[in-house]
Amino acid sequence: MDEFLKEKDIKLKDVSEMVKNINVDNSNDFYIVRGYYDEIIQYILSVFPKNNLYIGVSEEIRENPDVEYNKIYSFLGAPNIEIEQNLNTHIGIYRSEIPKDLELLLYNIYKPHNEELYKILGRKIDIWEKYYDKLK
């Protein structure tokens, strides 16, 4: 995270201030609001019926690709197939840890949005909840 912030010439206190004054017209704020999945999905649902939308969680797909991809195939009405390739070839790794105070700040920002997302999905995302439990 430190390298990311340095690359973007953003200081930790700037991130905290940015969060307090989120403005979607500001390109730096976009990094925060693009994680408001509830709002994104609510917009999509205002245009398309819910039964036409499949919502997959990338962490769940990475953790159990065969099961999760078969859910997608089922949604599409396609036959299940086994995936034999490495789907993680384009997944990057973080070069440094996110500072704990920033991580807690982001958790508190996203918490109400995640609660709304869980209502939309009709379930909690267990892999996220396990991560949050470690964070608290």
The arithmetic mean of pLDDT across residues 65-84, rounded, is: 91
Check residues 7 and 67 and name the one with the higher pLDDT: 67
* Predicted local distance difference test score (pLDDT) of residue 78: 95
* Predicted local distance difference test score (pLDDT) of residue 82: 79
Contacts 24+ apart (CB under 8 A), 18-23: 19/105, 19/106, 19/109
pLDDT digits (tens, 9 = 90+) for 87-124: 666 667 777 788 888 888 899 999 999 999 999 999 99
CATH entry 3.40.50.300 includes domain 2-135: yes
pLDDT digits (tens, 9 = 90+) for 14-47: 555 555 555 545 556 678 888 999 999 999 999 9
Q: Where are the domains of the chain?
A: 2-135
Whether the per-residue pLDDT at 6 is higher than 60: the answer is: no
